[in-house]
Homo-oligomer: A and B are copies of this chain.
Amino acid sequence: MVTHMKWLILAVCGLFAACEQGKEITVGGDAAKQVQRPHFEITSDEIFDAGSIPAYEGSHDEIYADIDRNLERHLANLQRWVRQPSISAQNNGITEMVGMLRDDLLAIGFAEAELVPTDGHPGVFAYYDAGAEKTLIVYMMYDVQPVNPEDWQVPPFAGELVEHDLGTVLMARGATNQKGPQRALLNALESIISVTGSLPVNLIVLAEGEEELGSPHFPQIIEKYKDRLMAADGVFFPFNSQNRSGDIKMILGVKGIIYMELEARGGPHGGPVNHEVHGSLKAFIDSPVWRLVQALASMTTPDGNTILIDGYYDKVQPPPDEDMPLINGMLASADEEMMMQALGIERWIDGETMREAQMDYLYNPTLNIDGIWAGYTGEATKTILPHVATAKVDSRLPPGLDPDEMMALIRTHLDKHGFSDITIRPMSGYPASQTSVDSELVQAAISVINKYGKPPSVEPRLGGSAPFYVFTDILKLPMVFTGIGYGKGAHGPNEIMLIYPKEGSKIAGLAEIEKGYVDILHALAGQ
């Protein structure tokens, strides 16, 4: 679920705050019900400045030199990985790719490196015992999205180098999401071991082959090694985080999500059971489409912006004090006009200020209709009363909102308002995930980013979702996904990772990326 699409979005969205408490909204013209969406104040003027964290001062010149010396071979490793298709949705190349990953880990020097069977595609658990004080888990995904080869300018599994306005890029499915940065990290490990004989931290590699499917069986992998995993100090997900300007946003959390289909069908409560009927029969036949529309409408204010489900906001948590400086930092660097243009919008919900809108983004749950369909949707006119109507609905959950509880609140709401005929089909659900800016892992990552360029913008949370709760909630570990480097096109055609930036570029190429990983491991070890 972590993709460069999301990355692009947060590159334009993650920036501000609000200051009103308890704004009241009147529902409907006739109904005089007062409903509140939580509004929060900023309680501090302090601005978080990542630049105040000293840049990492360690220098591992021999290792850097080994990287430079072996860069062509390192690049060949990336190419070898992207040339091996591993499309989880189509079970294409999974066995070959998971074997390649395991074999690479063994070759690098991991004493343990085993396939982990699951009810889906297998995972990998590998352990490198450096006899060190600290242990880091590296999360990896070895699967990729499907491809439409006809949309690509090069074959998506050829691993070709292509000239790009930013420099020479590797263009292939998986180049940046996530084979490129992951194999770059393994290259870094090779160079560290080659020069020093070991690693500065003990390393667990935990890989799954179903990230692009929503990680349905990742908890099985976690469960099997839970005790060993919980003894670690943090989780790192290597990620090409730079944008075209070289800037980095470091995001410390994600919202949870529930995703469901709501469906209305004919039945004892009325409506045609098995087939559509002629539209004129609406005169005496109940319409499942009207039922779905009414059920949905009962869940929000007429503007669609405030949730009317009893209890939905009850467990929303106010921003912790720790977030205030981060929010102020985001606001300080926000360009509202540019953001609205990138999003293609002319106002924020309810005509809010950017500060208010950003507080909604960070701290409030959403209720969103991803899709809706029923009946005739073609050209011109056709008069039918459809027997079934369906909507895809998702709700983003900030910390404190439990997926099962929220799903139950929706069911209760529908029943209470007379919509027990509406079926809910849950499709996925997991809670939010949060890591503290004060964790050693985050501080180490920031210090390394500061060494290589502009300090990152550090933001409390992404409005989107990823199942990182397995790390932060099940394993109780801090988790960070970052890294220098640039990529694009994660789920589309012509996916790239920048390898050799043009002269004077502010973006890291493969060599710098690997050196950054070298530094992060050492920084975490206090070396």
Residues of A participating in the B interface, judged by any CB pair closer than 8 Å: 5-6, 9, 13, 28-31, 33, 214, 255, 257, 259, 266-275, 277-287, 289-291, 293-294, 296-298, 300, 302-305, 343-349, 352, 357-358, 360-361, 364, 366-377, 380-387, 389-390, 392, 394, 396, 416-419, 427-428, 462-465
Are the C-beta atoms of A278 and B29 separated by less than 8 Å? no
**Contact between B285 and A345 (Cβ–Cβ < 8 Å)?**
yes
B283 touches A304 (CB 8 A): no
Query: A290-B369, A293-B297, A300-B294 known; A345 and B271 CB under 8 Å?
Result: yes
Which 5 pairs from chain A and chain B are nearest by CB?
A290-B304, A297-B297, A371-B375, A284-B357, A282-B368
**With A302-B294, A343-B277 given, is the CB distance from A368 to B287 under 8 Å?**
yes
How long is the Cα–Cα vector from A50 to B62 in the complex, in angstroms? 106
B29 and A28 contacting across the interface, CB-CB below 8 Å: no
Are B294 and A304 closer than 8 Å at their CB atoms? Answer: yes
Contact A282 B371 (CB under 8 A): no
Known: A31-B30, A278-B9. A285 touches B343 (CB 8 A): yes
Report A353 CB to chain B, min CB distance, Å: 11
B285 x A290 contact (CB < 8 A): no
7 more contacts with CB within 8 A, not counting A29-B418, A279-B366, A372-B372, are A28-B31, A29-B417, A273-B346, A289-B369, A290-B305, A293-B297, A370-B376
Stoichiometry (number of copies): 2
**Which residues of the partner chain B approach A385 to less than 8 Å between Cβ atoms?**
368, 370
What is the distance, in angstroms, from A525's C-beta to the closest C-beta of chain B?
35
Q: Say yes or no: B361 contacts A283, CB within 8 Å.
A: yes
A33 CA to B275 CA, complexed, in Å: 34
Q: What are the residues of chain B within 8 A of A277 when measuring CB–CB?
A: 9, 343-345
Specify which of B268, B298, B371, B386 is in contact with A374 (CB 8 Å cutoff): B371
Measured between beta carbons, the chain B residues less than 8 angstroms from A390 are 377
In the complex, are the beta carbons of A345 and B272 less than 8 A apart?
yes
CA distance A417 to B418 in the complex (A): 23
Q: Which B residue's beta carbon lies closest to that of A259?
A: B381
| CA gap between A351 and B172 in the complex, in Å | 60
Chain B residues whose C-beta falls within 8 Å of the C-beta of A427 in the assembled complex: 380-381
- Does A464 contact B285, Cβ atoms closer than 8 Å? no
Complex Cα–Cα for A267 and B346 (A): 6
Inter-chain CA distance A460–B491, complex, in Å, is 59
Q: In the complex, are the beta carbons of A369 and B293 less than 8 A apart?
A: yes
Bound CA span A214–B382, Å: 10
Q: Across the interface, which residues of B come within 8 angstroms of A302, CB to CB?
A: 294, 298, 417-419
Residue contact B387 to A344, C-beta cutoff 8 Å: yes
Bound: A280/B427 CA distance, A: 17
Cβ of A394: which chain B residues have Cβ within 8 Å of it?
Answer: 279, 381, 383
Structural contact, A281 and B383, CB atoms closer than 8 A: no
Kindly state the separation between the CA atoms of A164 and B383 in the bound complex, as whole angstroms. Answer: 30
Check A278 against B375 for contact (C-beta < 8 Å). no
Q: A302-B418, A345-B271 are in contact. Are A367 and B282 (CB under 8 A)?
A: yes
User: What distance in Å separates the Cβ of A447 from its nearest Cβ neighbour in chain B?
Assistant: 29
For the complex formed, measure the closest distance between the CB of A121 and the CB atoms of chain B, giving whole angstroms. 16
Query: How far is A33 from B9 in the complex, measured between Cα atoms in Å?
Result: 44
CB distance from A129 to the nearest CB of B (A): 39
